[in-house]
Amino acid sequence: MDIITGNAGWIEVICGPMFSGKSEELIRRLRRAMIARKRVAVFKPVIDDRYSAEEIVSHGDLRMQSQVIHDAGEMLERIDWRAEVVGVDEANFMGPSLVEVAGRLADSGKQVIIAGLDTDYLGRPFAPIPDLLAQAESITKTLAVCVRCGNPAKHTQRLRGSDELIVVGAKDMYEARCRRCFEPGIPKQQEIDFVKARRREP
């Protein structure tokens, strides 16, 4: 990526569906910053407790220490202002204030790298990534592999259970699908199986 350095900050967004390597790419960029002896601050939202409380973790088990926060505003209170690079994972759980906070951090000269889902389980744009894309200097779209047909996958398929916007889960709840195999919402047969299985529970 050719971004002219100096003291001007900027925003980089890494977006795509689940399993597309967003966390891996975020960790890769942050590791490179550390190798360059830059001071790095890493944040993740508290809601994402799937794997580890104080680390960001990829599905392939790459890990990096992070501070756990409740909303984006907390970054401004907890950040060591000497940090030159700021990483944020799971941006979709951070709330809309992330757009303003990321802008302030970039305005103060920091390289801000944000990873998050760009679409939800219905295939709709997923806040706050669309607004961040409009603010960003650099955008990377990561694609997964469709588990049905092997084509490049841009969708996160929810497999069962709920029509809430945010339902935390990994392989048992979601899979990657391409535009042809994606079924917005919850696949009917999967839902029937899920309800039947729950009825059988004591």
Taking the least distance from each CB to Zn ion, the nearer of 7 and 189 is 189
Burial 103-114 (b: 16+ CB within 10 A, else e): bebbeeebbbbb
The tokens of 6 are what? 């100096």
Q: Is the dihedral of CA 48, 53, 59, 65 positive or negative?
A: positive
Instruction: Indicate whether 148 belongs to the interface with Zn ion (CB under 5 A).
Output: yes
Q: Is 90 a catalytic residue?
A: yes
Q: Does 181 bind Zn ion (CB under 5 A)?
A: yes
Residue 93 near which of ligand ADP, Zn ion, none (CB within 5-8 Å, type-dependent): none
Catalytic, out of 12, 90, 175, 183: 90
Cis omega before residue 128 (within 30°)?
yes
Select 9 or 42, whichever has its Cβ closest to ligand ADP.
Answer: 42
Q: Pick from 36, 46, 149, 166: which binds Zn ion (CB under 5 A)? A: 149
Site for ligand ADP in 138-177 (CB under 6 A): 142, 144-145, 147, 176
133 near ligand ADP, judged by CB under 6 A? no
146 sits near Zn ion (criterion: CB under 5 A): yes
Binding-residue pattern over the window 8 to 47 for ligand ADP, x denoting contact by CB under 6 A: --------x-xxxxxxx-----------------------
By CB under 6 A, the residues from 41 to 100 that bind ligand ADP are: 58-60
Catalytic residues: 90
Residues contributing to the site for Zn ion (CB under 5 A) = 146, 148-149, 151, 178, 181
